[in-house]
A and B are shown apart, each in its own frame.
Chain A
Amino acid sequence: MLRKDLLRVSRAGGGYHPQFADRSHRPLAARAIGVFQGHVDEPRGRLDAALEDLEADADDFKLVRGFAALLERDATFETRAALPPERVRRTVFEAAESVGGVVDDGDRAAALATAADRLGTDVDAVEASLYADRDVNEVLSSFDPRWDPDELLEQYNLSLAQTVLFDATEVRIRSSDPKRLVSAVKRLGLLYEIRRRGDGAERELVVTGPDALFRRTRRYGTAFARLLRSLAEAPEWSLEATIDDRGTDRELHLGPDDVSVPGVEPVAEPTYDSGVEADFARRFANLNLDWELSREPEALAAGARAMIPDFAFDYRPGGTAPDAPALRVFFEVMGFWTPAYVEKKLDQFGSIDDDIELLVAVDESLGVGEEIADLDHRVVTYSGRVRVKDVVDALRAYEDDLVEAAAASLPAELVPEADVIGLESLAADHGVSVDALESVAFPDHERVGRTLIRPAVLDAVDAELDAGLSLSAAESVLEGYGIDDASATLSRLDYRVEWEGLGGGTLAEK
């Protein structure tokens, strides 16, 4: 964090853009470090003058002062005086009284001589010590910079962004590490609520403080600045803030491209609450199911609190097209915890939004399975470790629901335009799973294996095939009609394949 008078910000286009340092400022950063290194054993007054000279060379003096403010954290200053200055002052001022007050050079010399006498030293030592402990007279005794020029730029950018947040009245945050974020929010005495953005799929944490309920306040600005430090250690995050810029509200946007933390590698691997969860994640990942497991999903609003489930399963039977239906099932593992914890969890489960699908794995010993099921969530119980099979079965139940729902949205009959079309691509066209097509009739096509083919096409294909034709020749005929499921089609046309050793085969009548 920097002092507010060192803030550099552009309001171009009505926005609020901190003027971050970039690579072009590296030489300036290096010189600032050099000025400190070059003034070890010199008084602060001279260091300050040298930094002021550097300001003249820079396009913005505040940038130099910002660097200097950061570097000063690694500088040690000390008082170098022959005698303790405070004692010298007391003696000198008493001596001045004893000569009847100093009003000219004569009185002054007399008072200093008296003081030197009382202190058992000479007048020069008294004069040199008198204010040796003032800041400007202190000596830079050592300077051990923790940052190299690149890190100084990085730290400057972090500090600058923190300083901007001093004037923030509200921040809105997304993070790939929401658990850590929520605990930082609590630790800093802030309050949050979870808000859905845009189409509702994305959630963000809106962070303010208690008194924000009654007025827009900058009181929590320093806490927001601290929060940024925690936030910026996550690999993926974004922050929007409302800045009270002397009475005008301005929007600030920050992300990992603007701000990072020097010397800290973003933590890519999420941490797990318990060994049960880690174990489950590993075993599930080995199965290669249609469900994709994501760890540390976004926070859910559970009443006034955030609940961050352990995992989410994503199921996209219709592919990743924007309007294809997708299902996200959140998964929470409840291990062996205290009754108070279970109570709190049940309370959370009861207060999350109705349209959220939540699957809960409960340890048998907790004996709360039925209560959770009553709260309209699915439950698997476990003892010791969560059986992947149980979870997969539970997910299948969601799949069945989904198939049912998708099938209900389809007409009873479908007449695709193409002469030949695979069920999978037809399902994708309608944004449903193949299973959902089971209950649909295709009056103009015949279903052959996983392909729909018009009868006229089947007849044409049949006319080109004969017993004794090689399999590869037959396949190229089929391909010519856009049919890639050779074995099902040949079987439908009453051919079988006679295999010849390990090589090809020829068609034969069944």
Chain B
Amino acid sequence: MLTLRYEDGTIRLEGLDESDATVASLPGAAWDDRGLVARAPAWRYADLRDALADRGVEFEDRVASPDAERLSLSHAYDLRPYQEEAVSSWREQGDRGVVELPTGAGKTVLAVDAIAALGVPTLVVVPTIDLLDQWRRELETEFDVAVGQFGGGEQTGGPITVSTYDSAYLRAEDVGGDFGFVVFDEVHHLGGEGYRDAARLVAAPARLGLTATFERPDGAHEVVAELVGPKVYSADVDDLAGEHLADYEIRRVEVALDPEERAAYEEAQGTFVDYLKRSNLSLRSGSDYRKLVMRSGTDPEAREALLAKQRARRIMMNADAKVERLGRLLDRHREDRVIVFTAHTDLVYRLSERYLLPAITSETGAAERREILERFREGTYSRVVTANVLDEGVDVPDANVAVVLAGSGSEREFTQRLGRILRPKADGGRALLYEVVSEETAEERVADRRR
């Protein structure tokens, strides 16, 4: 009899012969000369099962381990109407697809509801350590089961397991047959070729993707639609603002470079621009930039140009006036809860030392970053400075002021950062976002472009 088995990221179809026409007609299946067996990619498992059932072919399904427990799960959340709608339209699409909601709209809550509804072993894949902690805390609070963790220095599986994309990529072959449901938080990460394997090599028939922005210029959403399913529900900030999200206001603050900084900036920027002119590169397209980076491997002048550009960016980001201006903003918001962002790790530490602010960067160890966020959440700390590591979806409750120093200008980063302070506030106070940029520099043009 035909037997389906999970093996190293693939489904083995035992009991078929090479000449059997069934092989070619089954979704995703192909004949593998290396093992003299037919296989299909693990992510086609649900299709495969359906196709066999449609044709009335008898088969033994050994993909799911026979002793896999049915989980009896319930939770205490009261879903908002749009969250309920999102879950039911996902279920109508055969438990597959992506839900698009703005940051702060409670994507975790609807995933918890979906997990409880299905009651099967579930893998939750998230992009950062902070989200790993956050999801685990949430799941442990709601459900009465052991929650496993892959990533952040731990590798323990459980009926419900939270994993980073990195760990999911690395462990896919070992654990890809253990789950009936997989949730991808910030699902656009599956667009990256490597992370894609976290979905490809996993057999779980039920799949849910969560994101704030489904459509993407790099076409990642097409891959996501194939591996996870199409967009099944969407609501944007305007749909939810006022009703479910806090109101917010953006203030732009311009600071001037001091004469010394200005001179150094002009000099470095000049070196860079001269090289571009000489070599007919415009840098209007990403491919020109790649060309420059490639050339810098062999051409010392190109490398010097690239280094000059980095110097200019560093001067601009680290402008003394910005550091001083931050002091005035902190002074103005002594009574508020402030989170300060900057892309530059060295600047984070400079600010941390200058204003004695708790800092979180990629260098911060897991235990310490957990402690700092915990203390920020409970109010022991009223301010935090961080590099980009908190970009995605991390829950920082009750921060009502954000200061962004030297943003990189990517639209997604900008909206996600905004999302951070869009959490509904208890007293309904207006959230504030400061964007601090240097005058008359490339950085200012980036900020303009975003408007």
Hey, which bits of chain A sit against chain B, CB under 8 A?
A: 8, 60-62, 86, 89-90, 92-97, 100-104, 108, 111-112, 127, 130-131, 134-135, 189, 191-193, 208-211, 213-214, 217-219, 303-304
Contacts and interface: CB of A to CB of B under 8 A. Distances in A.
A134 B363 contact: yes
Given A103-B327, A211-B41, A193 B33 contact: yes
B356 A111 contact: yes
Contacts of A192: 34
Contacts of A213: 10, 30, 32, 34, 39
Interface stretch (B147-155, B214-222, B378-386): B378-386
B330 A101 contact: yes
A214 B43 CA distance: 12
A211 B327 CA distance: 55
B347 to A, nearest CB: 14
A320 B194 CA distance: 51
B449 interface: no
Contacts of B363: 134-135
B379 to A, nearest CB: 9
A94 B328 contact: no
Nearest to B328: A103
B443 interface: no
A130 B359 CA distance: 12
A189 B197 contact: no
B36 A303 contact: yes
Contact of A93 (B39, B193, B197, B381): B381
Contacts of B194: 218-219
B35 interface: yes
Given A96-B356, A103-B355, A108-B356, A189 B173 contact: yes
Contacts of A100: 334
A68 B369 CA distance: 30
B33 A304 contact: yes
Nearest to B9: A211
Identify the 10 closest CB pairs spanning chains A and B, nearest first: A96-B356, A103-B331, A304-B36, A191-B34, A210-B8, A103-B330, A102-B356, A93-B358, A103-B327, A214-B41
Contacts of B37: 304
A276 to B, nearest CB: 31
B361 to A, nearest CB: 9
Given A134-B363, A191-B35, A210-B7, 20 more contacts: A60-B298, A61-B303, A92-B356, A93-B358, A96-B356, A96-B357, A101-B331, A102-B330, A103-B327, A103-B328, A131-B352, A135-B363, A193-B34, A213-B39, A214-B39, A214-B40, A219-B197, A303-B36, A304-B34, A304-B36
Nearest to A301: B33
A189 B8 contact: yes
A67 B39 CA distance: 43
Given A61-B303, A97-B381, A211-B10, A102 B349 contact: no
A94 B371 CA distance: 13
B356 A62 contact: no
A108 B355 contact: yes
Given A95-B356, A130-B353, A62 B327 contact: no
Q: Which of B39, B355, B371, B380 has the most CB of A within 10 A?
A: B355
B201 interface: yes
Contacts of B380: 94, 97
Given A97-B381, A103-B331, A89 B353 contact: no
Interface string B16-46: 0000000000001010111111011100000
A103 B382 CA distance: 13
Contacts of A211: 8-10, 41, 197, 200-201
12 contacts: A60-B298, A93-B357, A93-B358, A103-B330, A108-B356, A130-B353, A210-B173, A211-B10, A213-B30, A214-B30, A218-B193, A218-B194
B430 to A, nearest CB: 21
Q: Which of A89, A130, A214, A304 has the most CB of B within 10 A?
A: A214
